[in-house]
Structure 1
Amino acid sequence: MEKPKSAPQEIKFSYGGQAVIEGVLMRGANNAAIAVRDPEGQIVVHEQPLNKTLYRGWIARTPFVRGLVGLWDSLGLGTRALMWSADVALGEEEDVSFNGPVGFATLAVSLLIGIGLFFLLPTTLATGIGSALGITSTSSDAAVEQVETAADGDVVEAESGGSNVFIFYEALPIGVEATIINFIEAVVQLAILIAYISLIGQLNDVKRLFGYHGAEHKTINAYEAGAELTPETVITYPIEHPRCGTAFLLTVVFVSVIVFSLLGRPPFLLLILSRIVLIPVIAGIAYEYLRWSANNIHRPWVRVLVKPNLMLQHLTTREPDLGMCEVAITSFKRVLYSEGLIEEVEAAIPEPNPAAAAIPAVGD
């Protein structure tokens, strides 16, 4: 096929996507396409228009707002795409709705679990570690400062119990001690993230998912380099990409250290509340940083800055095979066709490949 009509320097939209079960989701400015290989080796494609306001309207041009709104939309679309891809991979394709209360409820539950595991748990553990290191006073020390005035004017110490260790602790103002604990919180957060990804990465199904993630990255990298979009060409491109969602997670961790350090270490209940309320702020900042670094990746010093992000991506990517690249390319070509960048014949779905379908069944 011909090279994309837009040269790399002329690309006005940052294409992206994610891996799904036995396939890849690609997003453009107007449409999203999900390509999944079924048990017979046929590539099944689902396409759907995207919200114009989010991807092309004023929201897409408003810093910080675009990151938050776009992230929410991407999470919802990605979650529903995963559900649909699982049905296709199992040979049980259904005409599912990518919108509505079921999709919203699934996203809400997923977010609650994520917030609890990657935000609230690290906050609680860091508070305990800070107490163990003697950086903050807890329970018996801090609760003794909770006093009440008796009728005769005498000061009476409030009783405390061990169960209040995380409720009654000495709040810390902005400073070195608060920053140390916030840094500990970030380290715990990152450790949980790495442990979680490493653990699920041992599953065969997840290994294949990570292979499709690698295929998605290679396809975008090849397109942005102006290369021919064939499996044999795409597979030669790097497996890392600066706009990767894994890179976003690492950026969130580092941004959170800076943002939370501006608050010191407030009382525990306010501490927990701040972690939840400031998620949109942190996500917006992290998105703008990733966008800026991706746009300036040609600068040597920026490549040094993003090196940790690129390294972390190896946790969630694997080298794909040609069949995986074919699926990723099919999805991406459908997006390019929807935007008038290639002809329909170039975006045709390939013939079934029984060899590529000879894989372990999902769930085995």
Structure 2
Amino acid sequence: MPQESKPVAYGGQAVIEGVMFGGKHVNVTAVRRKNQEIAFLEVPKQDKSWVKKLRKIPFLRGIVSLIDSSAKGTKHLNFSADAYADDELTEEERQEQKDNENKGWSLSMVIGVAAVGVLSFVFGKVVLTAVPVFIEDFLFGNTGLSKFSHTFIEGIIKILLVFLYLYVISLTPTIKRLFQYHGAEHKVISAYEAGVELTPANVQKFSRLHYRCGSSFLVLSVIVGVLVYSLFSIPFPYDNVWERVGQRLILLPVVLGLSFEVLKFTNAVRDVPVLRYLGYPGLWLQLLTTKEPTDDQVEVSIASFNRMRELDAELENATVNVSYASGNLDPVKG
């Protein structure tokens, strides 16, 4: 008798004027065009066997997931950027762009590259790892504090920089709408997990904050980094600010991998009254990275989620049918 598969913990990301959701077998992005129609990008998941194996190894799976999601997210960001740029062009400009597409960068290329650059998690982590070190050393380098104190202050500076950066960019209309779609993504996932019908009215009743958000991972990585850097500096003390930055960058994969495991733990224990507070710092950061969406934005998010679920079911059934046809009585697990 076939074993019942475990419930899927769906995730996604906001894109320009839309939302991407990742399923077991396919990633789907839905974006609202200027004519109010909803356009879709549907990309089947084709993970290599060695990638699937690495995803099962603790500590390594976090780094693999980050790299993989960043690579796959680029295609969906570019799709939304291209749609947005195309909607901003007149017919004459659109034709001129086609005529000159080989002579230079188009507006869509510029927006796409900019989106990837701004939202690149790895690039952001490197910058947020090095810059706070220099700031802390400039302010407190000659105060005689312990290395743990320096590292703790460095972590505080890092969090303040993150909050300041997110607050400033959230004031721009484009990023504010991006954060609204981020909120719409969270609301749809929460509504689905609660088992209610996915309608704009039902979905809007749920919080725009969610435990599994990447914002929670960002805060956790700062907290975990303070502990990792402090412990590492005991057997391997640094002598100057450049050695300190070098240590931080070398240990960055360790911090990211460990932070991913801590995030999985906080998600697993979020129903435990005391332990659920471990996830609160990430929820607080989401007050900046999400905004309350409009019904139209929620509608786009629902459309993306439903299309992903529909394609997932079709691919799942196709996989099961192939498995039975080959004589295997157990469905193939994705």
**TM-score, length basis structure 2:** 0.78
Structure 1 residues 13, 304: closer, same or farther in 2, change over 3 A? same
Asked whether 1:23 is paired with 2:18, we answer yes
Structure 1 residues 284, 213: closer, same or farther in 2, change over 3 A? same
Distance 2:193 2:12 in 1: 14
The answer on whether the counterparts of 2:158 and 2:222 sit within 8 Å (CA) in structure 1 is yes
Kindly provide the CA deviation profile for residues 250-281 of structure 1, in whole angstroms up to 9, marking residues without a partner as x. 00100000000012251333322221121111
The answer on whether the counterparts of 1:19 and 1:210 sit within 8 Å (CA) in structure 2 is yes
Structure 1 residue aligned with 2:140, among 126, 130, 147? 130
Structure 1 residues 55, 245: closer, same or farther in 2, change over 3 A? farther
Letter of the structure 2 residue corresponding to residue 134 of structure 1 = G
SS in 2 for 1:34: strand
Kindly provide the CA deviation profile for residues 36-80 of structure 1, in whole angstroms up to 9, marking residues without a partner as x. 001100110001122334898322322111111111111222233
**1:317 CA drift (Å):** 0.5
Distance 1:127 1:231 in 2: 50
Distance 2:119 2:11 in 1: 24
Larger Rg: 1
Structure 1 residues 281, 13: closer, same or farther in 2, change over 3 A? farther
RMSD: 2.9
**1:134 CA drift (Å):** 3.5
Gaps of 5+ in 1: 1-6, 95-101, 136-176, 345-364
SS in 2 for 1:48: strand
Distance 1:110 1:301 in 2: 34
Q: Number of residue pairs matched?
A: 287
Structure 1 residues 300, 342: closer, same or farther in 2, change over 3 A? farther
Residue of structure 2 equivalent to 1:236 = 205
**1:179 CA drift (Å):** 0.5
Asked whether 1:266 is paired with 2:238, we answer yes
Residue of structure 1 equivalent to 2:129 = 119
The answer on whether the counterparts of 2:20 and 2:27 sit within 8 Å (CA) in structure 1 is yes
Kindly provide the CA deviation profile for residues 58-113 of structure 1, in whole angstroms up to 9, marking residues without a partner as x. 2232211111111111122223322221221233599xxxxxxx98xx66994674
Structure 1 residues 55, 306: closer, same or farther in 2, change over 3 A? farther
The answer on whether the counterparts of 2:41 and 2:79 sit within 8 Å (CA) in structure 1 is no
Distance 2:176 2:63 in 1: 29
Residue of structure 2 equivalent to 1:13 = 8
Residue of structure 2 equivalent to 1:180 = 149
Asked whether 1:299 is paired with 2:272, we answer yes
- Deviates most, 10-19 or 60-69: 10-19
The answer on whether the counterparts of 1:53 and 1:59 sit within 8 Å (CA) in structure 2 is no
Distance 2:216 2:12 in 1: 14
Residue of structure 1 equivalent to 2:305 = 332
Structure 1 residues 48, 54: closer, same or farther in 2, change over 3 A? farther
Distance 1:70 1:51 in 2: 14
Higher helix share: 2
Structure 1 residues 54, 130: closer, same or farther in 2, change over 3 A? farther
Kindly provide the CA deviation profile for residues 100-143 of structure 1, in whole angstroms up to 9, marking residues without a partner as x. xx98xx669946742453111111112222324333xxxxxxxx
SS in 1 for 2:27: strand
The 5 A counterparts of 1:80-95 are 80-91=75-86
Kindly provide the CA deviation profile for residues 200-249 of structure 1, in whole angstroms up to 9, marking residues without a partner as x. 00001111111000000001111111111111111111111111111111
**1:308 CA drift (Å):** 1.9
Residue of structure 1 equivalent to 2:171 = 202
Kindly provide the CA deviation profile for residues 12-37 of structure 1, in whole angstroms up to 9, marking residues without a partner as x. 33211111110001111221111100
Letter of the structure 1 residue corresponding to residue 178 of structure 2 = L
Distance 1:333 1:24 in 2: 12
Gaps of 5+ in 2: 88-93, 99-111, 318-334
- Deviates most, 227-236 or 52-61: 52-61
Distance 1:33 1:179 in 2: 45
Letter of the structure 2 residue corresponding to residue 130 of structure 1 = F
The answer on whether the counterparts of 1:32 and 1:50 sit within 8 Å (CA) in structure 2 is yes
The answer on whether the counterparts of 2:10 and 2:21 sit within 8 Å (CA) in structure 1 is yes
- Deviates most, 58-67 or 324-333: 58-67
Letter of the structure 1 residue corresponding to residue 141 of structure 2 = S
Distance 1:210 1:260 in 2: 32
Structure 1 residues 55, 232: closer, same or farther in 2, change over 3 A? farther
Residue of structure 1 equivalent to 2:252 = 279
Structure 2 residue aligned with 1:68, among 48, 63, 68? 63
Residue of structure 2 equivalent to 1:322 = 295
Distance 1:198 1:16 in 2: 24
Structure 1 residues 225, 27: closer, same or farther in 2, change over 3 A? same
